[in-house]
Chain A
């Protein structure tokens, strides 16, 4: 009996031990399956559950003027999207969109786009990007299921339409599409980064690890002074409207550094709503408009003549006929002159005299000197879309080309090319490339870009002679009297050109372009400027009548702003040469 009991106990122990062993084996097997065979898959699932990687978009760099004032900055804004959950039918989603329409200004086009995306079965649909925080609050309060917000950044231009053509604009993804925004997009946009977030069981982020740091865009400092820009824009708008012109442009620069202080074009647009509804408003007339400069080009004629034949200055020319004829071409002076000295030809802007000088120079000389002043090629200003101008080589000229070129026809230039040319005169014959970018912001403060090396284009003596004995006299007693400033000696040249009519296939005597290009003060130029007004329709159209006064008004206010002491007191006492400008170089 005892033996039987003992066997039974042993059997039971064996069964229990076997059962336990089997149980352990099963568990062990399962563990091997989970830990060995499904290791990678399960590890990834676990990682997925408690951590996630997010792309970090860098903040686009800020654009500032030379005084540090913000011109463009990216600020955070919410964007709304619809997240579709499995099983949600189309009608439910459309109902949500309908209820959103009462809270958000959604255009019929936007609604149609959302409906199309719903029809396509998309799970993620943008409702409206870059809305205001107030709009988001309204949507949040409505508690519409499936509608979520995501943080993005929006470009903000605090000065509105001011400097629009220089700044350009960005698209919905903050990528530069025009102006400085496009030109320096590479520096402004920065570099995307990646961050690993860890989450707890409630999916709250409690830790993060930067896998790849995002590099914020670099801040840029422009050479533009927003106060000078404002002065130029205000006077330009006034001039365009008063003279009923089609468009106008003003560029102000510091001729001794090549820095652009202001670049205004009218009509303008608000870069906060880029691109503008009217594409014409987007054209930067300062660099993207080719036009025949008329008499303003005579400056280069004078420079070439004096450089090649210095004794020209003493010559006298017979302009008494009042007109010049060649092969059916008749060019007239605006009034009859008698004998005119070399400087008088330019002071009074005699076409007949200018043609005589051009004929003495010859086509090759005139061509090479116009090229020397940079016509027919880009100035290299750091803005996209600059025009070259149109300037054909002498091989394709006709017998009319030389007299035409002498008075600024058969050549198309841009306003910035004219400014560059006058800067050569103002800067004693040295060409300093024009530029808009002054400095980059860096960790140590500012990385100021070095000034480009000047290139001699004209002898210093000829440049001074043209400035003091011709261009200053144009303003003092010639066609540019309206540009004269109280207290300062200014220099400049007027220009009036008839516009070519492609329908008439000839120049239209009722359509003109008026301009003035000059600098002030003559002895130590602080600013140079070009003013162009297209198709004035209010009666007056001569550059000396409508563009020169704009030069005077802008120059007067800018010199006052820069704190320059006038060279002459009200009693006409000649004072010391102009004092230093106010902290112009401080970015």
Chain B
């Protein structure tokens, strides 16, 4: 049996074909892996955004609670020792204009 010797061109063709096929396969695998990795990262980022949005909402509600008129008045009266002004302590610009006349 006589084996036919492959020409250099043929060998080169086979090698190149294999290289291209392997490259394509590698690229495809890399592409898929990267797609999943980015998907995971995106998912994580989305969750972080959602979490931060919820935190903002929670903080806004907390702010509303801290600024409740009852609490503010309590602090003003008990902590800062403030009292309501008497009517003679209130001066309106309109009054001043009237006096000037």
* Residues of A in contact with B (beta carbons under 8 Å apart): 69-71, 73, 75-76, 156, 158-160, 162, 198, 200, 204-208, 226-227, 230-231, 234, 486-487, 560, 565-566, 569-570, 573, 575-576, 579
A158–B61 touching, CB < 8 Å: yes
A162–B88 touching, CB < 8 Å: no
Of B39, B64, B98, the most chain A CB neighbours within 10 A belong to B64
Distance in Å from the Cβ of A131 to the closest Cβ of chain B?
16
| B6-49 contacts to A (CB < 8 Å) | 36, 39-40, 43
| B56-98 contacts to A (CB < 8 Å) | 57-58, 60-62, 64-65, 67-70, 73, 87-88, 90, 92-95, 98
Chain B positions within 8 Å of A208 at CB level: 43
A73–B68 touching, CB < 8 Å: no
B94–A162 touching, CB < 8 Å: no
Of A158, A487, A566, A575, the most chain B CB neighbours within 10 A belong to A158
Whole-angstrom CA separation of A486 from B70 in the bound complex = 25
Chain B positions within 8 Å of A73 at CB level: 57, 60-61
Chain B positions within 8 Å of A76 at CB level: 54
A565–B61 touching, CB < 8 Å: no
Name the one of B65, B67, B94 contacting A579, with C-beta atoms under 8 angstroms.
B94
Extra 9 A-B pairs, beta carbons < 8 Å, given A206-B40, A226-B69, A565-B95:
A70-B64, A73-B60, A158-B64, A158-B65, A159-B65, A227-B69, A230-B70, A569-B92, A570-B87
Whole-angstrom CA separation of A69 from B68 in the bound complex = 9
A158–B87 touching, CB < 8 Å: no
A200–B95 touching, CB < 8 Å: no
Q: Beyond A205-B43, A486-B87, A487-B87, is A158–B62 a contact (Cβ under 8 Å)?
A: yes
Instruction: Using CB atoms, name the residue of chain A closest to B93.
Output: A565
Chain B positions within 8 Å of A159 at CB level: 64-65, 68, 70
Whole-angstrom CA separation of A361 from B64 in the bound complex = 54
Distance in Å from the Cβ of A329 to the closest Cβ of chain B?
47
Instruction: Using CB atoms, name the residue of chain B closest to A75.
Output: B58
Distance in Å from the Cβ of A492 to the closest Cβ of chain B?
20
* Residues of B in contact with A (beta carbons under 8 Å apart): 36, 39-40, 43, 54, 57-58, 60-62, 64-65, 67-70, 73, 87-88, 90, 92-95, 98
A575–B43 touching, CB < 8 Å: no
B87–A70 touching, CB < 8 Å: no
Instruction: Using CB atoms, name the residue of chain B closest to A208.
Output: B43
Can you name 29 A-B residue pairings with CB atoms under 8 Å? Answer: A70-B60, A70-B61, A71-B64, A73-B60, A73-B61, A75-B58, A76-B54, A156-B61, A158-B62, A158-B64, A159-B65, A159-B68, A160-B65, A162-B70, A198-B39, A200-B40, A205-B40, A205-B43, A206-B43, A207-B43, A230-B69, A230-B73, A231-B69, A487-B87, A565-B93, A565-B95, A573-B98, A575-B98, A579-B94
Whole-angstrom CA separation of A227 from B68 in the bound complex = 8
Whole-angstrom CA separation of A73 from B58 in the bound complex = 9
Whole-angstrom CA separation of A560 from B64 in the bound complex = 23
B61–A569 touching, CB < 8 Å: no
A569–B69 touching, CB < 8 Å: no
Whole-angstrom CA separation of A463 from B96 in the bound complex = 34
B92–A565 touching, CB < 8 Å: yes
Chain B positions within 8 Å of A560 at CB level: 90
Whole-angstrom CA separation of A575 from B58 in the bound complex = 47
Instruction: Using CB atoms, name the residue of chain B closest to A230.
Output: B69
Whole-angstrom CA separation of A70 from B87 in the bound complex = 32
Whole-angstrom CA separation of A223 from B93 in the bound complex = 29
B61–A69 touching, CB < 8 Å: no
Nearest first, the 4 A-B pairs at minimum CB distance are A206-B39, A158-B65, A230-B69, A70-B64
Of B36, B40, B61, the most chain A CB neighbours within 10 A belong to B61
Chain A positions within 8 Å of B88 at CB level: 570
Instruction: Using CB atoms, name the residue of chain B closest to A72.
Output: B61
Chain A positions within 8 Å of B68 at CB level: 158-160, 162, 226, 230
B39–A207 touching, CB < 8 Å: yes
Whole-angstrom CA separation of A159 from B69 in the bound complex = 9
Instruction: Using CB atoms, name the residue of chain A closest to B47.
Output: A205
Whole-angstrom CA separation of A179 from B39 in the bound complex = 44
Whole-angstrom CA separation of A159 from B66 in the bound complex = 9
Instruction: Using CB atoms, name the residue of chain A closest to B65.
Output: A158
Chain B positions within 8 Å of A234 at CB level: 70
Distance in Å from the Cβ of A271 to the closest Cβ of chain B?
13
Distance in Å from the Cβ of B39 to the closest Cβ of chain A?
3
Chain B positions within 8 Å of A575 at CB level: 94-95, 98
Chain B positions within 8 Å of A75 at CB level: 54, 57-58, 61
A69–B54 touching, CB < 8 Å: no
Whole-angstrom CA separation of A205 from B88 in the bound complex = 69
Chain A positions within 8 Å of B69 at CB level: 162, 226-227, 230-231
Chain A positions within 8 Å of B73 at CB level: 230
Whole-angstrom CA separation of A569 from B101 in the bound complex = 14
Chain A positions within 8 Å of B70 at CB level: 159, 162, 230, 234
Distance in Å from the Cβ of A490 to the closest Cβ of chain B?
15
Distance in Å from the Cβ of B42 to the closest Cβ of chain A?
8
Chain B positions within 8 Å of A576 at CB level: 94
Whole-angstrom CA separation of A569 from B61 in the bound complex = 41
Whole-angstrom CA separation of A61 from B30 in the bound complex = 44
B95–A569 touching, CB < 8 Å: yes
A69–B94 touching, CB < 8 Å: no
Instruction: Using CB atoms, name the residue of chain B closest to A233.
Output: B70
Name the one of A156, A160, A566 contacting B92, with C-beta atoms under 8 angstroms.
A566
Whole-angstrom CA separation of A573 from B96 in the bound complex = 11
Whole-angstrom CA separation of A299 from B2 in the bound complex = 126
A69–B67 touching, CB < 8 Å: yes
Distance in Å from the Cβ of B92 to the closest Cβ of chain A?
5
